[in-house]
């Protein structure tokens, strides 16, 4: 019980501190977003700027995310092997 | 799930082609409308979940599906790295639509294979 | 007056920070393994909400169209493209941890961290 009260107190204190210190305004000029929304259709031909972003400007992100999905599937298959299953190799 | 309901088994096959068409629509139209490879792949994977709810098969060969997924990922690597690092995008400046559609289709099929494997693995091995 | 002040306080960033600490509390104070996994999912959802609400403006239009220069306020496409990745990563993390939990449950027969540790012999 005491541990839970301590955890609640810690979380509330951290929340209040972060909310109170969140006063610095973010900058209004977004250079990457402005460049992409201006030039995405001219450079890639795709009118959806999000697709142009994750397939052209940030394509390593998509590539290694697909690789990570494959790794997680390998982990799921490897960790759920029980002995004596007839569906295994 | 051995005693599945007859209602599911009779009515769910009507929905299969609609889900398939909607999934491929989301994938192929990813460059002009909201959507893309990941979302359409998740929709395509829901076909297999509906198939299991209607007709609970136990003998799907998951290693074949996983090999398909690995081959699709290899194609994706070859396509992306080859297309962009060989600077073909500078030659074909402004007309990358074919590259984007092809990459969307590959990502969609790969994500569909992956979610199918996760679902069937949970069903086969964890529900005992 | 007070209601307007409260409405300005409740925006996406503050709600996401609150969600983050709710998930943090679940990670700290709960001993159930399933609740730990759910707390990790809540943390991930709060991250997605924070990134999407960073560059929010009420007049934003979605970044789809041939001439986006005609609009004064266009939504930022970079966090959206990154958050697609984050969602799929969260799904795979949840799947792997659920698989590990199920095999652990078959082996030890409990969902409590301390009982699992006791049965392993790490603590008395």
Q: Give the domain CATH number at C42.
A: 1.10.287.3510
Whether C86 has a pLDDT exceeding 70, the answer reads yes
User: Is residue A24 in some structural domain?
Assistant: no
Q: Is residue B98 part of a domain?
A: yes
Is residue A41 within 8 A of residue A47, CB to CB? The reply is yes
Mean pLDDT of chain A: 82
> Tell me, what's the pLDDT at C61?
87
User: What pLDDT does residue A89 have?
Assistant: 44
> Please, what sign has the CA dihedral across residues C23, C26, C27, C29?
positive
Specify if C23 maps to a domain.
Answer: yes
Which of A62, A77, A85 lies nearest to residue B107, judging by beta carbons? A62
Q: pLDDT-based confidence at C106, cuts 50/70/90?
A: confident
Which residues in chain A touch residue B100, judged by CB atoms under 8 angstroms apart? 44-46, 51-52, 55-56
Structure token digits, residue C88: 């799929």
Chain B interface mutation, best of C63, C75, C97, C102, highest count of B Cβ atoms under 10 Å: C102
B103: in domain: yes
Spatial CB neighbours of B79, under 8 Å, sequence gap ≥ 6: B99, B102, B103, B106
Helix, coil or strand: residue B55? coil
Token look-up 């984050």 returns C86
pLDDT value, residue B43: 93
Distances (CA, A) of C76 to B62, C20, C39: 40, 23, 28
Min CA distance, C44 vs chain B (Å)? 18
pLDDT of C50 above 50: yes
Structure confidence by residue, pLDDT tens digits, C7-43: 888 888 889 999 999 999 998 888 899 999 999 999 9
Query: Residue-wise over C10-49: b if at least 16 C-beta within 10 A, else e?
Result: eeebbebbbbbbbbbbbbbbbeebeebbbbbbbbbbbbbb
A-B contacts (CB, under 8 Å) = 92
Q: Which residue segment(s) compose the domain that C36 sits in?
A: 10-55+75-120
Q: Which domain, by its residues, includes A74?
A: 29-81
Q: What is the mean pLDDT of the segment spanning A38-48? A: 84
Helix (H, G, I), strand (E, B) or coil at A48: strand
Torsion angles phi and psi, residue B90, rounded to 5: -80, -30
Model confidence at B94: pLDDT above 70: no
Q: For chain A, how many structural domains are there in total?
A: 1
Question: What pLDDT score does A72 carry?
Answer: 92
Q: Cβ contacts (< 8 Å) between B122 and chain C: which residues? A: 95, 98-99
The rounded percent of chain A whose pLDDT value lies above 90 is 7
> What is the complex's ipTM, to 2 decimals?
0.82
Residue A47 in domain = yes
pLDDT in tens, A16-35: 888 888 666 666 778 888 88
Residues of B with CB under 8 A from a CB of A: 30-34, 36, 59, 62-63, 66, 69-70, 73, 76-77, 80-81, 84, 89, 93-97, 99-100, 103-104, 107, 110-111, 114, 117-118, 121-122, 124-126
Query: Which pLDDT belongs to residue A83?
Result: 63
Query: Which helix or strand (DSSP H or E) is residue B34 part of?
Result: none
């Amino acid at each position: 019980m005491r541990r839970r009260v301590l955890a609640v107190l810690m979380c509330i204190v951290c929340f209040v501190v972060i909310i109170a210190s969140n006063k610095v305004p973010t900058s209004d000029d977004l250079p990457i977003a402005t460049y992409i929304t201006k030039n995405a259709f001219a450079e890639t031909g795709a009118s959806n700027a999000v697709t142009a972003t994750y397939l052209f400007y940030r394509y390593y992100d998509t590539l290694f995310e697909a690789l990570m999905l494959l790794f997680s599937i390998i982990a799921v298959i490897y960790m759920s092997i029980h002995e004596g299953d007839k569906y295994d190799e | 799930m051995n005693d599945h309901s007859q209602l599911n088994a009779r009515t769910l096959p009507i929905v299969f082609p609609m889900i398939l068409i909607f999934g491929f629509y989301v994938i192929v139209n990813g460059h002009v409308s909201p959507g893309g490879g990941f979302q359409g792949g998740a929709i395509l994977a829901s076909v297999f979940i509906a198939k299991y709810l209607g007709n609970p098969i136990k003998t799907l060969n998951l290693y074949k599906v996983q090999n398909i997924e690995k081959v699709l990922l290899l194609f994706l690597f070859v396509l992306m790295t080859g297309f962009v690092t060989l600077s073909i995008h500078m030659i074909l400046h402004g007309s990358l639509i074919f590259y984007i559609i092809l990459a969307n289709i590959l990502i969609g099929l790969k994500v569909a294979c992956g979610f199918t494997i996760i679902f069937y693995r949970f069903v086969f091995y964890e529900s005992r | 007056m007070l209601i307007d002040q409260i409405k300005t306080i409740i925006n996406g960033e503050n709600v996401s920070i609150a969600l983050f600490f709710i998930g943090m509390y679940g990670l700290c104070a709960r001993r159930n393994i399933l609740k730990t996994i759910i707390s990790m999912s809540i943390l991930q959802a709060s991250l997605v909400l924070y990134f999407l609400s960073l560059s929010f403006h009420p007049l934003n239009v979605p970044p789809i169209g041939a001439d986006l220069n005609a609009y004064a306020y266009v939504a930022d496409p970079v966090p959206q493209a990154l958050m697609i990745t984050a969602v799929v990563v969260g799904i795979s993390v949840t799947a792997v941890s659920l698989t590990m939990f199920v095999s652990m449950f078959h082996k030890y027969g409990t969902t409590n961290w301390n009982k699992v540790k006791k049965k392993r012999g790490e603590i008395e």
